[in-house]
A and B are shown apart, each in its own frame.
Chain A
Amino acid sequence: MSEALSTRRLVTRLLLVVVGMFGFGFALVPIYDVMCQAFGINGKTAGAYEAGLQSTDESRQVRVQFLATNSAEMVWEFRPLADELTVHPGQSTEMVYVAYNPTDKPMSAQAIPSVAPSKAAAYFHKTECFCFTQQVLQPGERIEMPVRFIVDRDLPKDVKHLTLGYTLFDITARKPPVAQATLTRATP
């Protein structure tokens, strides 16, 4: 094996490792999401729950608290109608959030849900949620946005108290309200 050739082959291999590791850095993005989902961490909830209704467990009560937070630079008024509800596992419950656009421009927003404690996130099912779509509000418009949820009957026994928090982000720049308006009207 000649010296020059083997050096070239070695360098090629090392460069392949470099390219591979650069790709691995980006691969960490989906890996991270998969890991968070697999281990139920991060308080991220799944999408719409379609497994059907569960029978209600009348013997158990769980307090569910509701939070609404505006991300930085978001100017909407955003709050739940009640701070807290007591529900039975398996029972389907609705809570209404209110949003109001005080500016003189149409704006679009996206709400990102999060459940604490994070181990309860997998047991919190949303059958209907305003977070599944984007909201578009005309200047001065106020809407009521429902979220319908079921706390799973298999919720770990030591969890007696959950918090559902929404953070509202201004996505007007990314999803202009005009294009979005037709889209949201199409889906009731």
Chain B
Amino acid sequence: MSAVIDPGHAGHGHAGHDHHHGPAKGLMRWVLTTNHKDIGTMYLWFSFAMFLLGGSMAMVIRAELFQPGLQIVQPEFFNQMTTMHGLIMVFGAVMPAFVGLANWMIPLMVGAPDMALPRMNNFSFWLLPAAFGMLISTLFMEGGGPNFGWTFYAPLSTTYAPESVTFFIFAVHLMGISSIMGAINVVATILNLRAPGMTLMKMPLFVWTWLITAFLLIAVMPVLAGCVTMMLMDIHFGTSFFSAAGGGDPVLFQHVFWFFGHPEVYIMILPAFGAVSAIIPAFARKPLFGYTSMVYATASIAFLSFIVWAHHMFTVGIPLTGELFFMYATMLIAVPTGVKVFNWASTMWRGSMTFETPMLFSVAFVILFTIGGFSGLMLAIAPADFQYHDTYFVVAHFHYVLVPGAIFGIFASAYYWLPKWTGHMYDETLGKLHFWMSFVGMNLAFFPMHFVGLAGMPRRIPDYNMMFANFNMVSSIGAFMFGATQLLFLFIVIKCIRGGKPAAAKPWDGAEGLEWTVPSPAPYHTFTTPPEVK
């Protein structure tokens, strides 16, 4: 039933004829749907569209940085590209992709017929096109779009912001409302709709990590909303939250922003932890090592994420005791993260491993995310951070945790569950090609950034010293390679939707979980009578 995943071919679904309660026909099916699979599909397509758009902006950035000097774009536009790339990738690509996976998989994993609040689910998705339509439209406005970096520090984003900043603020409000509603839905589904016998400690880790992520979202998205509301009031209503002229303080902005911002980075990685914790045991053909410790490690990471925010602000002049506290608290996060990495390694240890595409992405996830974690530890060292701050070393660090972390986690999940979604096996050869091109491209793009960063190349600047020229050219070539490869992924997914080897209900022999007990493709309605969980 190709209609399940491809809006363009909604009309020629065949399986729908067999059901009395199949999907409605035509476009209105997608506008009005309350089906968790339809909404999950829309989230995933939306996030992929945003991934390509944000990626195109990265291509502009890397094309400009291919050589020193200004060649292609003006600095004003370059600033808009870095800002929009960050905003779109964080709020438009990574977060909706995980919400899409949650929509598709959580009801199937806990044995629920749908999400707990299906109408709200529809609304939280449809807010996103509105939010991003508004955000992207700012690029065509007079004065240009947001140009103050995705962290939008005041007063750059208030006193010195382009006129379009108000649209940016409302776009963030809408995204926030969407995320909060999505998170409430996930919590309600997990806590109330589990099948009989599915106790909390029997839940798959993807469900656990999403439950914790949802709580993080509920806790910090309102703080972000408050932060942009204060900006709005400073800009239009004469308050001075962040304006020193009226007795406010720009440093306060950074505290409020990073109180949201640090948990946000775990929001973007915890669901990937969960997905990888499902995929590695499936292809190592061994149960996950240390399930309970994984749950507690996830919860510890979530807790610690609330008390480390000022490590983004070591250089603003916080007192020595503050630097020490935030330094040690940050380093403490390495402990639960280490527990996870060792658990994944132990799961693979002496397993009968095979390396299908989801496993390749998952193994790369473990290795490369750990590299990103190590550079994070380096950045956590307060005295050393004064050199790393605002350099390409930071850019290298967070791209190592987000690209092979969050994005590879999403790719692994997509390949792992595509047979369940479409009823067809994807093309394994092309999948492996996609993996290797992404792997090589991504490392070429981001590894040299460590070196230029340590040598002092500042981030968010369209020009650079001649001495960084070679490494930057390598980075750009890698980025072009990574970017172009994602079109291959689009091709693989479309090919898989349109046909291919029919998938069995459980196409991976080591896979476990309720989602593999329903046929492939998953029928429009599943678990209308709850399954029995032993």
Q: Which A residues form the contact surface with B (CB < 8 A)?
A: 3, 6-7, 10-11, 14-15, 17-26, 28-29, 32, 39, 41-42, 71-72, 110, 112, 118-119, 167, 169-171, 174
Contacts and interface: CB of A to CB of B under 8 A. Distances in A.
B220 A118 contact: no
Interface in B206-249: 218-227, 229-230, 238, 241, 244-247, 249
Given A18-B180, A26-B230, A28-B256, A7 B116 contact: yes
State which size class the interface on B falls in: 35 or more
6 contacts: A7-B116, A7-B117, A21-B220, A24-B222, A170-B245, A171-B245
Contact of A11 (B159, B188, B251): B188
Nearest to B192: A7
B430 to A, nearest CB: 42
Contacts of B117: 7, 11
Interface residues of B: mostly helix, strand, loop or mixed?
helix
B24 interface: no
B467 interface: no
A118 B317 contact: yes
A42 B247 contact: no
User: Which of A7, A72, A171 counts the most chain B CB atoms within 10 A?
Assistant: A7
B251 A3 contact: no
Contacts of B183: 14
Contacts of A170: 245
A7 B318 CA distance: 44
Contacts of A24: 222-223, 226
Given A10-B188, A169-B244, 10 more contacts: A14-B188, A18-B222, A26-B230, A28-B252, A29-B230, A32-B249, A32-B252, A39-B321, A39-B322, A118-B319
B533 interface: no
A112 B240 CA distance: 14
A25 B227 contact: yes
Contacts of B241: 29
A18 B230 CA distance: 17
Interface string B160-184: 0000000000000000000010011
Interface in B319-360: 319, 321-322
Interface string B247-261: 101011001100100
Interface in B288-332: 317-319, 321-322
Residue from A19, A20, A28 having most chain B Cβ neighbours under 10 A: A28
Contacts of A23: 226
Give the one of A10, A21, A119 with max B CB within 10 A: A21
Interface in B4-22: none
Contact of B226 (A22, A32, A112): A22
B191 interface: yes
Contact of B244 (A6, A7, A167): A167
Nearest to A15: B184
A13 to B, nearest CB: 10
A111 to B, nearest CB: 11
B34 to A, nearest CB: 15
A10 B191 CA distance: 9
A178 B401 CA distance: 57
Contacts of B256: 25, 28
B87 interface: no
B251 A25 contact: no
Contact of B251 (A14, A17, A42, A110): A42
Given A28-B259, A169-B244, A21 B249 contact: no
B437 interface: no
B192 A10 contact: yes
B184 A11 contact: yes
Given A7-B188, A22-B226, A39 B252 contact: no
Contacts of B225: 22, 25
Kindly list the 5 A-B residue pairs having the minimum CB-CB distance in the complex, ordered from nearest.
A25-B226, A169-B245, A21-B222, A22-B222, A25-B223
B249 A19 contact: no
B244 A112 contact: yes
B444 interface: no
A25 B319 CA distance: 22
Contacts of B238: 174
B244 A71 contact: yes
Contacts of A7: 116-117, 188, 192
B223 A174 contact: no
B187 interface: yes
A118 B318 CA distance: 10
A39 B249 CA distance: 16
A155 to B, nearest CB: 17
Nearest to A22: B222
Contacts of A6: 192
Nearest to B226: A25
A171 B117 CA distance: 50
Nearest to A41: B319
A22 B227 CA distance: 9
Contacts of A17: 218-219
A14 B218 contact: yes
A32 B316 CA distance: 14
Contacts of A20: 222
Contact of B249 (A10, A42, A174): A42
B493 to A, nearest CB: 34
Contacts of B230: 25-26, 29
A10 B187 contact: yes
Q: Which one of B184, B220, B322 has the highest number of Cβ atoms from chain A below 10 Å of its Cβ?
A: B184
Given A10-B191, A32-B249, A42-B251, A25 B222 contact: yes
